[in-house]
Structure 1
């Protein structure tokens, strides 16, 4: 057995709530020193997950305060989990399973860093060349790992700092990938939806050429072993890539791969071009093979997985069908449906799973927030089989059941959302959840030689569920019953972000339920609809960083109706808003801007 860690295990139950499963004949003593909760409840089979026949899942930890993002496992089998935010106790949770039952029995925190920003995009966690690399929103750090030691003993080093101004920047997460030649790859997400000017104004054109492509919207290559770098120390490796959280180096074919987050707001920005069904499904989340010098077309183009072609973005004259200049850009190797939120990508190099999975790509789809009026989609771990650097078959559902409900009407209905993927030295898989910080360990206990289509058949049936299948334009429309007035406007233009229940989406879209932002100052509320809103705001003690585009294309009557509707619903109780109040504020805005 490895030496036990020198540092004391944290006694903060607020950070880690361990669940011990016990044999009926044995009652474990709860260690009061560590406030560990004991339980005789074995819970649902496989921790509530659905897996291919022959696979099993065990819950490593039931919940982790700090909400787990990406993970990595050391050669000692220690599981390191990057938490969404840093605190005095650290930004990393490290877990040890000393008795081999798959469940964590020691948990500590470390790696605290100071940040003045209010974003919550900290995500990366990778082990490379004996170092544990991780990131905040703008900084890449690392620790030197010492074999047999749970917590690194050396100082935290700063490898890279994003030194751009980031007043209202989107897509600033810093996932990481490392090749086999000492290079580190970092994406620089685009600071807009589609390089519009003005930003996210309905119908506004995109800048052409887009100046944001100079230092954003792409991936840069750096020296993995050099400290104190900024973007100027790297080399632009590829461009035309809007936003990346899922990224990995494929050692089998020596290439970088990412699954890109596609653009948003087709309906809200171009209601004369797209209907709600198209906006729910498009554009594709592109699984792309990134080679040096490749260009995937953002912001000028997006991939339509239904038509299986790249089409011109509406900001540049597209109508959903025109190809135009898009034939000059690189296509994805797989086009997944829109808004599935691919948040981790890891190629499998182990030998514990059946041969079918060798060198294939596992993808954690965090799940959509903005598919209303259709059910939310994603919320599963997918798999793409690979051979010779290309997909060798259709994508598969590898793990499902995270959401716990189907259909998923609002993102807040989902019990869990898969976020990170990591593999241990024994070839087992770990999957994290961002809602409660739950982590599962996946192992294969079946017949490797007999694994085939029969074992995959049940998972293939999962594709018929509403959170995975392509929704029927009419039958799956959650608004198909007749509604009118402010309610109809809300479910057409607002519920995609704020959700059908008004509960919003953690970190991105604030709730409108029971809040002074809705029930308070009428003028402020009307201006938000007419002018849009950017930057961090706090609602019910939580910070949100989404961007709300202006909805000035709505008439005074429509704005008055929808605001009256939300002020009288979603646990709100405030007076109505009249169309004349909207008209006055609209005129004041136009007068002050010289329109």
Structure 2
């Protein structure tokens, strides 16, 4: 190398070092404890805001650094929260609630409010049933006025599940929206044990897939869209990969393998399976729901028990699309983002960040997930296994019941300087994660500590014996019935899962009117109810398949445990109400 070449190389090194030092000086300092997070070496994190009233779902950041957050709940019709940092210390000093989305008979805010993205001069967000957008001016301010309605889910939703409306945009003027499957596995009798699946499943005509819409049209319903892909049960995270110009999604797998088919699946298998899928979605893709599910332990798609499967038979699933990666069951991947920024080390460029909201139904094993993962990509393909990028949200390990998790990661997005922003749905906390090291030297050494995070209880594969939280308990009577039929939602300790499944602890719904409680078991429950000051609008399936003795046993267990001290329920009380309901049904 001659003198001129060496001089040029030296000058380039000086420039690169200057840019890196300048970048680090512009970035605000991280919190001393990194906001409570475990992150790779040379990364720093800070808490942008400790809590947002209404809690948080997905989020996005505009080119000015303004953060938009979709609210999980709203008392006065506000749709979103806008956060600004005017002091440049990384902390939000202006927090503005914005919007006038009023709930009526055709709309619901609810816990499924999801999308939050900026596209072509608009900020888009969704409630459970509607995709809206506000126009942004040149300064990034929302143009005053009511939001435009781009798409409305106009189906009947009396017992509908999986109605989140995440969105993604391609580079051809299209918007993609999933319509989740309205059941667990399209069973003839809902979630009744051994109930077969309907074949062919009629729900696939309008649900269980992803539809494509014209992003420039307002007032659309599903009939204005095009069914792009099918066989997809429940999508909460959706993103467009600009490298291979393809749509990707993260999918929640079906539930209740042990509860519905105890002779075929063990509690451990039901905790681990089926996989949560990270899928590459092309036009005409079919991922097999409800007939099939992906088993990440066997690395193959197998036939669901509702359709004659035994956990090993492949059958008709051979023709279904496989995922990019199958994650362990019930981790609840709730957001997906391909990183296109320039702040992070090169290994993260164009890779996929995924937030795992965390399981609710892994009993008798600890709940799992509750972290932000990363999947490396190159040329539009995954180049390695999943990694732990950020952990420490739950602040508990093991997580015995979901309500004990302090925070749960929900949304993930990139800021204009390449920082990563993460939202929490429990408190409405927002983190900012920044890289402060030298990108060229980042490697396995800096990732070693994060590889060890895979060994913590809420991430590792549980040991069938050692990690069984009930291994020393002899389940009998009502306790055994509760574990099998109730604990997946209401948790082993009865505290439920905030926003989804109500608590059974010290509530009049449990300790009050016996007749009402028995009717809930026999008839199920749908619509909005209030439990201890919190609203719930999910579906409680009926359990009329239980005998009168069994219902009396399990309700007595609930009323006399978890700190409850109510009277027992007798078999004759259940029998009387069952006969009364049957008589009313026949009369009608």
- On whether the aligned pair clears a TM of 0.5, the verdict is yes
Shift of 1:569: 1.8
Which of 375, 399, 402 is equivalent to 2:393? 402
Which of 547, 555, 574 is equivalent to 2:539? 547
- State how far apart, in whole Å, the 1-side matches of 2:43 and 2:394 are: 19
Do the aligned partners of residues 382 and 349 (structure 1) sit closer, same or farther apart at CA in structure 2, a change above 3 Å counting? same
- The answer for unaligned runs of 5 or more in structure 2 is 1-29
Q: How many residues end up aligned between the 2 structures? A: 553
Task: Tell me the secondary structure at the aligned position of residue 574 of structure 2.
Answer: helix
Shift of 1:592: 6.7
Task: Tell me the secondary structure at the aligned position of residue 279 of structure 2.
Answer: strand
Do the aligned partners of residues 149 and 221 (structure 1) sit closer, same or farther apart at CA in structure 2, a change above 3 Å counting? closer
- State how far apart, in whole Å, the 1-side matches of 2:445 and 2:480 are: 46
Shift of 1:556: 3.8
| 8 Å contact kept, 1:63–1:437 | yes
Shift of 1:476: 0.6
Q: Deviations over 1:36-79 (max 9, x none)?
A: xxxxxx97600000000011001100100011111111111111
How do 1:149-164 residues align onto structure 2 when only pairs under 5 Å count?
149-164=140-155
How do 1:412-431 residues align onto structure 2 when only pairs under 5 Å count?
412-431=403-422
Q: For residue 12 of structure 2, what is the aligned residue in structure 1?
A: none
Q: Deviations over 1:463-515 (max 9, x none)?
A: 01110011111111111112333223323332221112211112221111111
Q: Deviations over 1:500-538 (max 9, x none)?
A: 221111222111111122112323323333443333322
Q: Deviations over 1:162-196 (max 9, x none)?
A: 11122221111111000111110000011111111
Do the aligned partners of residues 324 and 535 (structure 1) sit closer, same or farther apart at CA in structure 2, a change above 3 Å counting? farther
Task: Tell me the secondary structure at the aligned position of residue 452 of structure 2.
Answer: helix
> Is residue 2:76 matched to residue 1:88?
yes
- State how far apart, in whole Å, the 2-side matches of 1:90 and 1:154 are: 13
Q: For residue 132 of structure 1, what is the aligned residue in structure 2?
A: 123
- State how far apart, in whole Å, the 1-side matches of 2:140 and 2:351 are: 31
| 8 Å contact kept, 1:373–1:496 | no
Structure 1 or 2: more helix by fraction: 2
Q: For residue 96 of structure 2, what is the aligned residue in structure 1?
A: 108
> Is residue 2:61 matched to residue 1:73?
yes
Q: For residue 449 of structure 1, what is the aligned residue in structure 2?
A: 440
Q: For residue 218 of structure 1, what is the aligned residue in structure 2?
A: 209
Q: For residue 564 of structure 2, what is the aligned residue in structure 1?
A: 572
Q: Deviations over 1:232-288 (max 9, x none)?
A: 111110000011001000001100000001111222222222221111111110100
> Is residue 2:514 matched to residue 1:522?
yes
Task: Tell me the secondary structure at the aligned position of residue 185 of structure 1.
Answer: strand
| 8 Å contact kept, 1:86–1:113 | no
Q: For residue 27 of structure 1, what is the aligned residue in structure 2?
A: none
| 8 Å contact kept, 1:162–1:231 | yes
Task: Tell me the secondary structure at the aligned position of residue 60 of structure 2.
Answer: strand
Task: Tell me the secondary structure at the aligned position of residue 63 of structure 1.
Answer: coil
Shift of 1:107: 1.6
Output the TM-score relative to the length of structure 1: 0.90
- RMSD of aligned residue pairs (Cα, Å): 1.8
Q: For residue 312 of structure 1, what is the aligned residue in structure 2?
A: 303
Shift of 1:125: 0.4
- State how far apart, in whole Å, the 1-side matches of 2:171 and 2:343 are: 23
Output the TM-score relative to the length of structure 2: 0.91
Q: For residue 496 of structure 1, what is the aligned residue in structure 2?
A: 488
> Is residue 2:499 matched to residue 1:507?
yes
- State how far apart, in whole Å, the 2-side matches of 1:582 and 1:146 are: 62
Q: For residue 10 of structure 2, what is the aligned residue in structure 1?
A: none
> Is residue 2:364 matched to residue 1:366?
no
Q: For residue 352 of structure 1, what is the aligned residue in structure 2?
A: 343
Identify the range of structure 1 (574-583 vs 409-418) with the bigger mean alpha-carbon deviation.
574-583
